[in-house]
């Protein structure tokens, strides 16, 4: 089903929603998210956004109902495995891993229990929202187990006597700790990704997707990069440049009224730590500035 406007599915509310809005805004897509509308139209580009539950995004892509979607790899893989088992369409194109939604899917057990490996889970009941990823993982280890399906508050299951262990998303580990659990085994590492439906796109849509991708790349690169400027004595310049992270191609400029010193400018893919700044100062560097970069295009 090909519409003229590019249709992108994103989570309506939850862990991915705010970051998706921010990303689109930084890419120059103007959208007014106020109100309860479930379809919103970009004001300055032929883009419509569908605001849905994250569970539905992989299916919308795999059924070819929307063109693009932003989804956690955990949810994407869970739906893919489920659809493979059911013989339903399960293909998609991964366009780009994004820089948010980082978490891991882990098996966790009572903090006082010992854990020697997946074999310890044999015959156990495990509460999870991700039965297919869990089964895929434990099948490969030849471990038989049963599941207790829970869509939320999974961490409560062992204490409530519903299960022996859980398999749920972990980020800081605070939820596990608050529920007397410890992480036993990481089974899947996840980030948010931009995915595309299979099939043909007309020339306009192909060009729009290309533009969006270039902008997304620029936004992520800019967030990860810093613009560093400093003044350095000409005689220690080589040592100064060696200390700077990612300084293959620094720009060296003369100073107007100081022949002994030069200005050094560079884009770095790493942050400049205080320790390095102190070392630079010890080499005679001054006016050291570390600036955020708003946009980048190679
Ligand atoms: N603690 C976390 N830290 C970082 N990312 C997370 C965390 N928990 C979940 N995520 C990522 O964000 C995605 C969405 O999480 P969220 O909790 O909002 O989902 P949900 O409750 O299923 O929402 P929905 O109502 O859309 O179904 C997860 O699938 C995962 O990829
Ligand atoms: O390791 P932590 O940083 O504590 O994060 C982990 C928790 O975050 C997620 O739930 P969320 O808070 O999104 O609530 P939900 O289960 O209602 O979606 C996940 O399901 C865990 O419960
Ligand atoms: Mg969900």
Mind listing the pLDDT tens digit of every residue in the chain (298 residues)? Answer: 556 899 999 999 999 999 999 999 999 999 988 878 899 999 999 999 999 999 999 999 999 999 999 999 999 999 999 999 999 999 999 999 999 999 999 999 999 999 999 999 999 999 999 999 999 999 999 999 999 999 999 999 999 999 999 999 999 999 999 999 999 999 999 999 999 999 999 999 999 999 999 999 999 999 989 999 999 999 999 999 999 877 678 999 999 999 999 999 999 888 788 999 999 999 999 999 999 998 888 7
> What six digits make up the tokens of 88?
């339903």
Return the residue whose CA atom lies nearest to atom 30 of ligand 1.
Answer: 72
Please tell me if the domain spanning 6-100+192-222 has the same topology as the one spanning 103-190.
yes
Q: What pLDDT score does 270 carry?
A: 80
Does the C-beta of 220 come closer than 6 Å to ligand 1?
no
Tell me the residue ranges of DSSP E strands in the chain.
6-11, 39-41, 47-52, 68-72, 93-97, 103-110, 125-128, 146-149, 165-170, 181-190, 192-196, 226-233, 251-255, 258-268, 286-292
Show the ligand 2 pocket: residues with CB < 6 angstroms: 15, 152, 155, 168-175
Taking the centre of ligand 1 as the mean of its atom positions, its distance from the CA of residue 5, in whole angstroms, is 28
**From the alpha carbon of 178, which atom of ligand 2 is closest?**
4
Contacts of 150 (CB under 8 A, 6+ apart): 127, 128, 129, 157, 162
Question: Ligand 1, closest atom to CA 11?
Answer: 26
Residue whose CA lies nearest to ligand 1 atom number 25: 53
CATH superfamily to which 103-190 belongs:
Periplasmic binding protein-like II (3.40.190.10)
Protein residue with its CA nearest to atom 11 in ligand 1: 101
Residue 150: name the closest of 134, 171, 173, 137 by CA: 134
Q: For the domain bounded by 225-292, which CATH number is listed? A: 3.30.70.120
Look at residue 40 in the predicted model and tell me its pLDDT: 96
Q: Where are the domains of the chain?
A: 6-100+192-222, 103-190, 225-292
CA distance 287 to 263: 9
Q: Distance between CA atoms of 12 and 191, rounded to whole angstroms?
A: 18
Entry pTM: 0.91
One of 3.30.70.360, 3.30.530.20, 3.40.190.10, 3.40.630.40 is the CATH number of 6-100+192-222, namely 3.40.190.10
Structure confidence by residue, pLDDT tens digits, 166-196: 999 999 999 999 999 999 999 999 999 999 9
- Choose which residue among 170, 172, 178 to substitute to test ligand 2 binding: the one with the highest number of ligand atoms within 8 A of its C-beta: 170
């Amino acid at each position: 089903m090909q519409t003229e406007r590019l249709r992108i599915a994103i989570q309506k509310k939850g862990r991915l929603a705010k970051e998706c809005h921010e990303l689109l805004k930084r890419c120059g897509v103007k959208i007014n998210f106020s109100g309860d509308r479930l379809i919103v139209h970009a004001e300055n580009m032929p883009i419509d956004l569908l605001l849905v539950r994250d569970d539905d995004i992989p299916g919308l892509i795999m059924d070819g109902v929307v063109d693009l979607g932003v989804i956690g790899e955990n949810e994407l893989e869970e739906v893919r495995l489920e659809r493979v088992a059911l013989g339903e369409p399960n293909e998609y194109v991964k366009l780009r891993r994004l820089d948010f939604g980082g978490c891991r899917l882990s098996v966790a057990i009572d903090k006082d229990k010992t854990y020697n490996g997946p074999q310890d889970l044999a015959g156990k009941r495990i509460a999870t929202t991700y039965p297919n990823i869990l089964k895929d993982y434990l099948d490969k280890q030849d471990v038989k187990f049963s599941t207790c399906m829970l869509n939320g508050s999974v961490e409560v299951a062992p204490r409530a006597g519903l299960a022996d262990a859980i398999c749920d998303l972990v980020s800081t580990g605070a939820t596990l700790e608050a529920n007397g659990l410890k992480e036993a085994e990481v089974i899947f590492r996840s980030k948010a990704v931009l995915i595309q439906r299979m099939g043909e796109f007309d020339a306009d849509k192909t060009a729009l997707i290309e533009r969006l991708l270039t902008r997304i790349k620029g936004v992520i690169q800019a967030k990860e990069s810093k613009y560093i400027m400093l003044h350095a004595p000409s005689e220690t310049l080589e040592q100064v440049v060696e200390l700077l992270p990612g300084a293959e191609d620094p720009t060296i400029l003369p100073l107007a009224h100081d022949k002994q010193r030069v200005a050094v400018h560079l884009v770095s893919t790493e942050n400049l730590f205080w320790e390095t700044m102190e070392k630079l100062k010890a080499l005679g560097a001054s006016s050291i500035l570390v600036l955020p970069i708003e946009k980048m295009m190679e």
